[in-house]
Amino acid sequence: MTLTAPNADKVEQDQAGNAFQSAERSPGLLRESSWARWVRRPGLRRRWFRPNRLVLGLAFVFLLLMVAWALFPSLFTSGSPSATDPLTTLRAPSGTFPLGSDQYGRSVYTELVYGARTALEIGFLCTLLGGGVGSAIGVLSGYIGGAIDMVVMRCVDVLMALPPLFLALVFIAALAPTVTNEIIAVSVATIPLFARVLRGRALEVRSRVFVDALTVVGVRKRRILWRHVIPNCAAPGMVLGSITIGTAIVTGASLNYLGLGPTGVTSWGTLISNGQGYINKEWWIAIFPGVLITLLVLSVNVIADWLRDVMEPSSR
Amino acid sequence: MKRIAIGIPVVIGVSAVIFFVLRVLPGNPVDVITQGAPTTPGERHNLMVEFGLNKSLGDQFVLYVWHALHGNFGASFQTRQPVMSAIGQQTVATVELALAAMVLTVVFGVVFGMLSALFENTWVDSTIRVVSLLGTSMPTICTGPILILLFSFTFHWFPATGSGSLAELVLPSVALAMVTSGFVIQLVRNSLLEVIELEFVTALYAKGLRERRVWIAHALRNALLPTVTVLGVQLGVLLSSAVIAEQIFGRQGLGSLLVNGINNKDYPMVQAIVLLVATAYVVINVLVDISYAYLDPRVRTAMTR
């Protein structure tokens, strides 16, 4: 899922001041009705959202905070995410429980801090693992071409016929519910997209004239692959990877929510499902983890967006 | 025709993938079913025979495909009932939800996409863009509880859980549509803005058409073409979110059946549901391809040539 506004650069132009009169630029607007002209008054033509510096900075800060939570949870909270206490159940947010407590008397804040590790682990590891395998398959298949390419791509077609969550579910169904297996399942779900996108890229790179030139000069195929094709595929791979982190986090949280994740691990998804029965009065149990997931995915996506602008200027 | 021919091997491939992933990877359903109860090796063997797990993998697969072709997807390991009867009852509920969400997605997509394009770079446009961005970044497990909290417990507009009445369909389908429509809104907006710059639009204005007519009758029609393709893909997102939405909103449907099946290693159930979803996904995308040809005369002529 891409989050850019492909028109962003157009807006940028407007911002640069060369024309608030885009009405003159575009023939379609030659005959604007008066109300349309009214809303197009220069004063109203301001940009509301575009991953500008401020938003981007906030996204980075938030992501770093989450990484810090994941790495050193004990620095941010003194409590334990698993210690239950029948005396402090379902407390509203207060001094001792900044974000309230759940039905087992655990501090929601503490659980959120410890849950960050689960979320980021799935987000980053699955992207690395699934993205790595998928990219390798895609690049090789695209570069080698021929019958191998055809067979591989038919297999990818088959995997693509399953929505990613379902692909992960099939693996979850077959494997025991452990952290490793959950990561494997979500990783597998990311493979097909990587394979397809990077195969396209590899095909495109292979067909460029400079590759022919290298072949003519006598460079071996393997060397072309390592020194030229793979580096040229790195940028789209990284862009796709940065987007995938968000999807992987969501898939992982959804699996945990459905109760199909590992048992005994603190995660935001589990917290939401725990809090669901209490949403009427003790809403803080289910809402806060949801907000956190959204913010995390949003910041990852904003960063991904920026990364695309930096790495693939042509796609803007 | 060619498109349909491509779809069939894909569906067969999917069934093979599901089958082998479930059987080859470690984990024995007999352990789960006999959980807690002491069993003798003989009893375990009997169960294996009953489920057909004692045969070789190849034989199992051939049998599975053979039965599946006759519409028999086996009996559930849990209830011993044919899975198709259990699924049949639940499919209606899921299809209902998916359809409602799809309709909402299209309505949101067209209405807000068009507004966004009409008011390009104004606050209307920015608000729509920010909200749709938020929608796509917000997974169903987050929107669900928020919608319930707001609209059932705070405002008491819609019931929080249950399935059956139309009112109970509202919140889950809105939750689903929020995920999918953001993308559609953006697409409609951007393709509208592209179309509106084309020469034929200038010609329409020159001809003296009113702005409203140009936008709705001509520009929107052209701009919707790419949207149709995306809707097919979005259906995949929608189907997977539907499983989750059904759990959140306590609805009947394939979701709870699937989650139960996975927890109990009920292979026939999981196989049948996943295969059903995959088949639906493939069929609809083939239909989308075909409809595309009918909607766009350029593609139609290219195909007949």
- Give the tokens for residue B4: 């349909």
- DSSP H helical ranges for A40-145: 53-71, 73-76, 108-144
Q: Is the dihedral of CA A237, A243, A244, A249 positive or negative?
A: positive
- The DSSP code for A79 is S
Output the pLDDT for position A66: 93
Q: How far is CA B89 from CA A252, A302, B86, B110, B276, in A?
A: 29, 42, 6, 33, 14
- Of A29, A164, A269, nearest to B141 by CB-CB distance is A269
pLDDT band at A198 (very low <50, low <70, confident <90, very high): very high
**Tokens 């495909």 found at:** B65
Choose among B247, B184, B271, B245: nearest CA to A173: B271
- Those residues whose C-beta lies under 8 Å from the C-beta of residue A138, and which sit 6 or more positions away, are A194, A195, A196, A197, A198, A199, A200, A201, A202
C-alpha B238/C-alpha B101 separation (Å) is 8
Cβ B199 vs Cβ A27: under 8 Å: yes
| Number of residues that this document lists for chain A | 316
What three-state secondary structure class fits A72?
A: coil
Of the residues A156, A157, A162, A294, the best mutation for testing chain B's interface (the one with the most B CB atoms within 10 Å of its CB) is A162
pLDDT digits (tens, 9 = 90+) for A40-72: 433 333 333 455 788 889 999 999 999 999 998
Provide CB contacts within 8 A for A3, sequence distance 6+: A301, A302, A304, A305, B133, B136, B137
Which tens digit of pLDDT belongs to each residue from A108-154? Answer: 888 899 999 999 999 999 999 999 999 999 999 999 888 999 999 98
Model pLDDT, residue B1: 60
Q: Which residues in chain A have their CB less than 8 angstroms from residue B134's CB?
A: 294, 298
Q: Which residues of B touch A40 (CB under 8 A)?
A: 119-120, 122
Contact in structure between B78 and B269 (CB atoms under 8 Å): yes
Kindly state the average pLDDT of the residues A243-255.
92
From B281's Cα to the closest Cα of chain A, the distance in A is 7
Among positive and negative, which fits the CA dihedral A225, A226, A232, A235?
positive
Tell me if A255 sits within 8 A of B247, measured CB to CB: no
- Contact criterion met (CB < 8 Å) for A28 and B139: no
Using left for φ > 0, alpha for ψ between -120 and 50, and beta otherwise, residue B35 falls in beta
Cα A270–Cα A264–Cα B141 angle in degrees, nearest 5: 10
Question: What pLDDT sits at residue B220?
Answer: 84
pLDDT value of residue A39: 39
Show Cβ contacts of residue A201 under 8 Å, excluding neighbours closer than 6 positions. A138, A139, A142, A232, A233, A236, A237
- Looking at chain B, which residue has its C-alpha nearest residue A297? B137
B52 Rama sector, left if φ>0, alpha if ψ -120 to 50, beta otherwise: left
CA-to-CA distance for A113 and A108, rounded, in angstroms? 9
- Among B19, B20, B120, B186, the strongest candidate for a mutation testing the A interface, having the largest count of A CBs within 10 A, is B120
Nearest chain B CA: its distance from A270 CA (Å): 10
- Residue-level length of chain B: 305
Chain B residues within an 8 Å CB radius of A5: 129, 186, 190
Reading the block at residue B163, the tokens are 């399935």
Do the chains contact at B240 and A290, CB–CB below 8 Å? no
Count CB-CB contacts under 10 A for residue A55. 16
Task: Please judge whether A161 and B281 are an interchain contact, meaning their C-beta atoms are less than 8 angstroms apart.
Answer: yes
Q: What are phi and psi of A266, to 5 degrees?
A: -75, 125
Picking from A72, A177, A178, A164, the residue whose alpha carbon sits closest to that of residue A127 is: A164
- Integer Cα distance of B243 and A178 in angstroms: 22
Residues of chain A with pLDDT > 70, as a percent, come to: 82
Minimal Cβ distance to A290: which of B141, B214, B244: B141
Please list the ranges in chain B whose pLDDT falls under 70: 1-3, 26-28, 31-39, 164, 299-305
Chain A residues in contact with B155 (beta carbon < 8 A): none
Q: For residue A35, what is the nearest residue in chain B, using CA coordinates?
A: B119
Helices (H), B25-165: 29-33, 41-51, 57-69, 83-118, 123-137, 140-147
**B88 in contact with A at a CB cutoff of 8 Å?**
no
Question: Using the beta-carbon criterion (under 8 Å), do B201 and A162 form an inter-chain contact?
Answer: no
Q: In this model, does residue A6 exceed pLDDT 60?
A: no
Residue of B nearest to A246 (CA): B137
Please name the residue of chain A whose CA is at the shortest distance from the CA of residue B10.
A158
Chain B residues within an 8 Å CB radius of A2: 183
Contacts of B118 in chain A (CB under 8 A): 36
Which residues have a Cβ under 8 Å from the Cβ of B96 and sit 6 or more positions away? B169
pLDDT above 50 (res A28): no
CB pairs under 8 A between A and B: 201
With vertex at residue B223, the alpha carbon angle to CA B221 and CA B229, rounded to the nearest 5 degrees, is 105
Q: Is the pLDDT of residue A264 over 60?
A: yes
- Chain B contact set for A47 (CB, 8 A): 121, 126
Write A151-157 long-range contacts (CB < 8 A, 24+): A152/A195, A152/A199, A153/A196, A153/A199, A154/B9, A154/B13, A155/B13, A156/A192, A156/A195, A156/A196, A156/A199, A157/B10, A157/B13
**CA torsion through residues B257, B263, B269, B272, sign:** positive
- ∠ at Cα B62 (B57, B65), nearest 5°? 120
Q: What is the pLDDT of residue B81?
A: 76
First vs last C-alpha separation in chain A = 16
Minimum-distance CB partner of A162 among B14, B118, B211:
B14
Q: Quick one: tokens of B292?
A: 């595309």
What does the alpha-carbon distance between residue B248 and residue B251 come to, in Å, rounded to a whole number?
8
Closest chain A residue to B117 measured between Cα atoms?
Answer: A7
Q: Which of A11-20, A146-155, A229-238, B57-66 has the lowest mean pLDDT?
A: A11-20
Please give the Cα distance from B192 to B186 (Å, whole number): 10
What's the CA dihedral at A65, A67, A70, A76 to 10 degrees? Answer: -20
**Is B258 at the interface with chain A, CB within 8 A?**
yes
- Contact B139/A at CB under 8 A: yes
The C-alpha angle with vertex B200 and arms to B196 and B205, in degrees rounded to 5, equals 75
- Alpha helices for A175-229 (secondary structure H): 179-206, 209-217, 221-224
Name every residue whose Cβ is closer than 8 Å to that of residue B22 and which is 6 or more positions away in sequence: A170, A173, A174, B267, B270, B271
Q: Minimal Cα–Cα distance from A216 to chain B, Å?
A: 37
For residue A3, give the nearest of B123, B133, B262 by CB distance. Answer: B133
Which chain B residues contact residue A13 at CB under 8 A?
none
Q: What is the model's pLDDT at position A266?
A: 86
Question: Chain B: nearest CA to A190, how far in angstroms?
Answer: 14
Contacts of B236 in chain A (CB under 8 A): 163-164
Q: What integer pLDDT is reported at residue B34 of this predicted model?
A: 65
Please classify residue A88 by burial: count the beta carbons closer than 10 Å to its beta carbon, then call 0-12 exposed, 13-18 middle and 19+ buried: middle
Please tell me if residue B277 touches chain A, with a CB cutoff of 8 Å: yes
CA distance B111 to B180: 14
* Lowest mean pLDDT, pick from A17-31, A158-172, B224-238, B253-267: A17-31
- CA of A296 to nearest chain B CA: how many angstroms apart? 9
